[in-house]
Structure 1
Amino acid sequence: MDVKHTEDIFAALKPDQTDRKPLYLQLAERLRELINSGTLRGGDTVPPERELAELTGVSRVTVRKSLEQLVTAGLLTQRPGAGTFVSRRIQQPLSVLMGFSDDMRARGYEPSSIWLDKRAAGASPDEAMALGIAPAAPVLRLKRIRTADGEPMAIETAVISRRDLASPELVRESFYAALKAHGLLPVRALQRIRARMATLHEAELLHISHPTAILEIERRSFLPDGRVLEVTFSCYRADLYDFVVELQTSEEHD
């Protein structure tokens, strides 16, 4: 990022003095938007407090409080003697159904996959139950490491009945692109998330130390008629991923 472009980005964070919201919250929200939109990416440097204060027209105390908000939220990290940096953590909203590749591109990362297994097989008992098909029924099992800018993010195993996708060769880089090409895009999904310790093999594949916690996710995706289209079993790096859900109050609550 060139110096002039960097200055323009951070100067645009200048709070609205007529807004009744505290200046430090306005600045924190604008910084959060830059990070969530991918304008600022993991590892990018945030200007020093003095420089950021000059660019945005607020005091260093205001800048410090804004940065503290985002450090607490896990969006920024501060290293003594080095400065403030955008965290490499990904905030993944649970309310949006999107393929990994599209999600990473929207954030400014280059997605890729390292295939571990891509073949036709008989459904395991767990796979059959999740898909609502008979045990040992023919399925495609697609297992790969998902990467962003070359860094391993997750191990993902997608399973789909062969009545929907006949051959593993139909899936190239994007599983959802293959589904779309066959008119099979899901309209909703259910996800179950739990934390556990990574196995030694998982830690090696994800380039993390062992023992380390990971996020295990089972997702079932549904077609408009309510039929389960696919089930995906994933292990995400807990040091890089936050899953976020928006909650709303009901009309009647205590």
Structure 2
Amino acid sequence: MTDALSGTKEDLCALLARESRFDTRDGTPRYIRLANTLREVVRNRELSSGAALPSERLLAEMTGLSRVTVRRGIELLVREGILEQRRGSGTYVLAPVERFEQPLAAITSFTEDMLSFGRKPETRWVAREYASPSAQEAMTLGLSPGDRVLRLHRLRLADALPLAVELAIVPADLLPNLSMLGTSLYTAMASAGARPHKALQRMHACALPEFEARLLGAETGEPAFFLERISRTDTGRVVEFTRSHFKGDRFDFVAELNLHRET
């Protein structure tokens, strides 16, 4: 993309007409090539948020593609959340959604992560109470009959934006008084001499359940990430069993990998 766009339909059509990206010599379908071109224009901010795209008919005329191909390309970007189709009005560029990188190679708290992004972390409590553990929680934490847990259910936000719903379970003897709990669970655990030293995390894509969707201001069934973490101290004691739902359109989970060399 060499010429800056003014954001008008005419400029966009002229650009697409000049781009020789719609042949199939490398096997890429034409509708994907069109989607790639439009995506690049939006990401380069050459077409501003809220700008209207030309009609399917005009795009087809200017690119030499069929209207079916144009429609498929647009539908792909609608599914990605880059474009929005408004009935009776047209297709528009959506404002970009800010995403956060969540590291997988180190144990960090949500508070620490958001502060590193320059954001203001916030917690809204759903529940914080002492209770009897479920069978799964007791087994995971290695508890004895009669032991209690501290159940911490909270909505996590950054700059007032809902990002995740987290249910953390810790042995009650680690934090026997709720006054010990501040804004960061890990800070409180560190003060109690039980800061997690290592953890096993499992993560998979899921459909957002109704309860979590309501807390996050999202739609039930919306794509999300489910993360389960079991943390241990340096002595091997399990001190945390956490299950979280993260909004799928807000997070990228990243891990740094090293090349394994055979000896």
Question: TM-score, length-normalised on structure 1?
Answer: 0.65
| 1:170-209 mapped onto 2 (5 Å cutoff) | 170-209=180-219
Cα distance in 1 between the residues matched to 2:200 and 2:157: 23
Q: 1:179 to 1:81 in 2, by over 3 A?
A: same
Q: State the shift of 1:81 in Å.
A: 8.0
The one-letter amino acid of 1:200's match is E
Evaluate the alpha carbon distance shift between residue 116 and residue 212 of structure 1 in structure 2; reply closer, same or farther with a 3 A threshold: same
Counterpart for residue 142 of structure 2: 132
CA distance, structure 2, for counterparts of residue 173 and residue 83 of structure 1: 34
Unaligned ranges ≥5, structure 2: 1-42, 47-81, 85-90
Q: Which has the larger radius of gyration?
A: 2
- Cα distance in 1 for residues equivalent to 2:145 and 2:160: 36
What is the distance in 2 between the residues matched to 1:83 and 1:198? 22
Amino acid at match of 1:158: A
Partner of residue 133, structure 2 = 123
Alignment RMSD (CA, Å): 2.8
One-letter identity of the residue aligned with 1:150: A
In the alignment, what sits opposite 2:260? Answer: 250
- Match status 1:239 vs 2:249: yes
Give the drift of 1:172.
2.5
* CA distance, structure 2, for counterparts of residue 212 and residue 141 of structure 1: 26
Q: 1:48 to 1:215 in 2, by over 3 A?
A: closer
Deviation at 1:231, TM superposition (A): 1.2
Residue identity opposite 1:236 in structure 2? F
Amino acid at match of 1:213: P
**Which AA in structure 2 matches 1:252?**
E
1:92 equivalent in alignment to 2:102: yes
**What is the deviation of 1:88?**
0.9
| Alpha-carbon distance, 1:224 to partner | 0.8
Q: Distance in 2 between matches of 1:120 and 1:228?
A: 18
User: Compared with structure 1, are the counterparts of its residues 208 and 231 closer, same or farther at alpha carbon in structure 2 (3 Å cutoff)?
Assistant: same
1: CA distance between counterparts of 2:117 and 2:240?
25
Aligned partners of 1:145, 1:83: CA distance in 2, in Å? 26
Long gaps (5+) in structure 1: 1-45, 50-76
Q: Evaluate the alpha carbon distance shift between residue 164 and residue 83 of structure 1 in structure 2; reply closer, same or farther with a 3 A threshold.
A: closer
Per-residue CA deviation, residues 10-30 of structure 1 (Å, 9 max, x unaligned), is xxxxxxxxxxxxxxxxxxxxx
* 1:95-132 deviation per Cα after TM superposition (whole angstroms, max 9, x unaligned): 02111101101101100100010111111111112111
Deviation at 1:162, TM superposition (A): 1.6
Q: Relative to structure 2, which stretch is displaced further, 151-160 or 132-141? A: 132-141
SS in 1 for 2:229: strand
Written as runs of structure 1 = structure 2, the 5 A alignment for 1:1-254 is 87-134=97-144, 137-252=147-262
Q: CA deviation at 1:252?
A: 2.2
Instruction: Give the corresponding residue for 2:66.
Output: none
Whole-Å Cα distance in 2 between the matches of residues 84 and 206 of structure 1? 19
CA distance, structure 2, for counterparts of residue 84 and residue 238 of structure 1:
17
What is the identity, as a one-letter code, of the residue corresponding to 2:153?
A: K
